Homo-oligomer: A and B are copies of this chain.
Amino acid sequence: NLKIELPVRSLSNVYFDEKNGLIQMGDKTSQRYYLNVAHTKKFMQTLLVAAECKKIMDQKVTTSIRDLYYALKRTIPQTKENTFEDQSESDPIIEDVEAMLNTLREKLHLKADRKGYMAGKVVLHDSGDRINCSKMGSSGWAIPSDVEEEVIKFDDVKADYVLVVEKDAVWQRLNEDKFWKKQKCIIITGKGQPARGARRLVNRLHKEFHLPVYVLADADVWGYYIYSVIKQGSINLSFLSDRLGTPDAKYVGLTTQDVPKFGIPQNVTIKLNKGD
């Protein structure tokens, strides 16, 4: 009976490491069996993903996790069954393969959809081009999915700190005013929950240039969650917390305690819904 052994990435195998302030993965593993009705689909999916990674690595090209999903998605002939129903099925399998091989998905030649923008006092090299993030007009520099040292090399960092802004709208406002110029800082938005690229970039700027990191987020559960992920990493990607988390990050912005303190009127609040 064929099996795949892989680290458990769920809450049950994750702990908060007080000392370094990061969410870390324990050493529990689980098995995925070919001949187990409950496992067999995931077993197939794992092999499909691993084989496709091998193929693109042999071809010396890269692909995106979305393209990988499309490349592997098909309806199994004579059935109504798809190999993958949507990308939310293939993405966790990619993370499984990463964790299993103790590697980064970038090393498997995979990229993700990009999300997030940066502007400010940084000059960097991206795939051979020199990019001055203080000359990027109204849109800023689009943060690529892979910001590892092989792709992004910092050239000239003249900032005093990094400001991570939850909302793109707020980021655009700050960029319009060239806030990063007046304040000598770098402004980054992840457009909501930042993708790995933006989190890794913050982590690198903090580690390599000792820049303080501030997170400007909403005073609600989503804002705090985004802050916590930037600071401590996430449960899902606990095996990458060293690279993605920035434990020294500080929260800036309104807090719920500020509401009575500054006499903020109750009629600007929004009630929680079930999702919150």
Chain A residues engaging chain B, CB cutoff 8 angstroms: 61-64, 66-67, 70, 73-77, 80, 82, 111, 113-114, 117, 125-131, 135-144, 146, 151, 167-170, 172-173, 176, 191, 266-271
Contacts and interface: CB of A to CB of B under 8 A. Distances in A.
Given A76-B267, A80-B271, 11 more contacts: A61-B173, A64-B173, A70-B167, A75-B267, A75-B269, A114-B139, A126-B138, A127-B137, A130-B135, A131-B136, A139-B141
Which 9 A-B pairs have CB atoms at the shortest separation, nearest pair first? A126-B137, A67-B169, A64-B169, A142-B142, A139-B142, A139-B144, A129-B137, A129-B135, A138-B144
Given A176-B61, A271-B82, A169 B129 contact: no
Copies assembled:
2
A176 B62 contact: yes
Given A75-B269, A114-B168, A271-B80, A137 B131 contact: yes
B137 A74 contact: no
Contacts of A169: 63-64, 66-67, 70, 113
A130 B268 CA distance: 40
A64 B168 contact: yes
A67 B170 CA distance: 8
Contacts of A137: 125-129, 131, 144
Contacts of A64: 168-169, 172-173
A84 to B, nearest CB: 10
